[in-house]
Amino acid sequence: MARRIRETPSADRPRERLFRLGAGSLTTAELLAILLTTGRAGQSATDVAEALLAEGGPALWHVARRPAVELARVAGVGPAKAARVFAGLELGRRLQEEGRGERPRIRSSADVYRWYAPRLTDLAAEEFHVLALDSQSGVLRDLLITRGILNSSLVHPREVFRGAIAEAAAGIIVVHNHPSGDPTPSADDRTVTRQLVEAGRVLDLPVYDHVVIGAGRYVSFAEAGLL
């Protein structure tokens, strides 16, 4: 039977080692175990974390790319623990985005493509993102709005602009991927874009561009004269 964390000498427990030696002294599984807080019958939190990593591959990015509802189904995880794990991963991502205080700037649709392509190109499902920008085109926040087939019923202007308003954005760029690899805009893409541009005018929060990410290429609505 696996030894539980509380049965481990206190000095060797992940949380105690974190305070004593720093977070860098812990394995990925031990860091996840701290977020999980508890295990399940016969398994410690570290055991559950190791199982979580083993399911999608040993790299942490495999966990980050899985839907939260799927993560919650892993034995010993559940909705509350899955939420904590995703919150921790998101904080890490935002810290990386913010860097050391200098915001990355978006000067062209190519910059948008370089920003999103590593995350969106190989996804099996469509994701719709909002890139909230300040008055100098600096990135305030990347906001994931929805995951699934993109259409006007799923992407509502209220959801798109709510986060951007909370970030005090001066404007936004909307981005989504085509899992097929072909970034040619669909009829739904055009409908969604038209609705968002109109809503942006009403809110005085302009939509600068809609960039569709494909396999090794992209389509910019602004460059194509489709806005």
Per DSSP bridges, beta strands 127-133 and 139-147 are antiparallel
Cα separation, 177 vs 175, in Å, equals 7
Residue 5 confidence (pLDDT) above 90: no
Reply yes or no on whether the pLDDT at 153 is more than 80.
no
More confident residue, 207 or 43: 207
Q: Which residues pair with 144 in a beta bridge?
A: 129
d(CA 24, CA 66): 25
- At 24 the pLDDT is 79
Question: 194 Cβ partners below 8 Å, 6+ apart?
Answer: none
The chain-wide mean pLDDT, for the chain, equals 85
Residue 14 pLDDT exceeds 70: yes
Give the model confidence (pLDDT) of 58-82 as tens digits: 667 778 777 788 888 888 889 999 8
Q: Which residue has the tokens 């599984």?
A: 29
Q: Average pLDDT in the 80-91 region?
A: 88
Alpha-carbon gap, residue 100 to 177, rounded angstroms? 29
Would you say residue 35 has pLDDT above 80? yes
| Residue range 109-220, CATH number | 3.40.140.10
Write the pLDDT tens digit of every residue in 156-213: 888 899 989 999 999 999 999 999 999 999 999 999 999 999 999 999 999 999 999 9
| Angstrom distance (rounded) from CA 176 to CA 183 | 9
What does the pLDDT average to over 129-154? 82
pLDDT given for residue 3 in this prediction: 47
pLDDT in tens, 101-119: 567 889 999 999 999 998 8
Residue 145 Cα to chain centre, angstroms: 10
Question: Percent of the chain scored above 90 by pLDDT?
Answer: 41
Whether 149 has a pLDDT exceeding 60, the answer reads: yes
DSSP track, 116-147: HHHHHTT-SS-EEEEEEE-TTSBEEEEEEEEE
Please answer whether residues 112 and 106 qualify as being in contact, where contact means their C-beta atoms are separated by less than 8 angstroms: yes
The pLDDT assigned to 2 comes to 45
Q: What is the pLDDT of residue 136?
A: 92
Nearest Cα to 218, choosing from 178, 188, 191, 173?
Answer: 178
Residue in the structure block whose two tokens are 């100098």 = 136
Output the pLDDT for position 93.
76
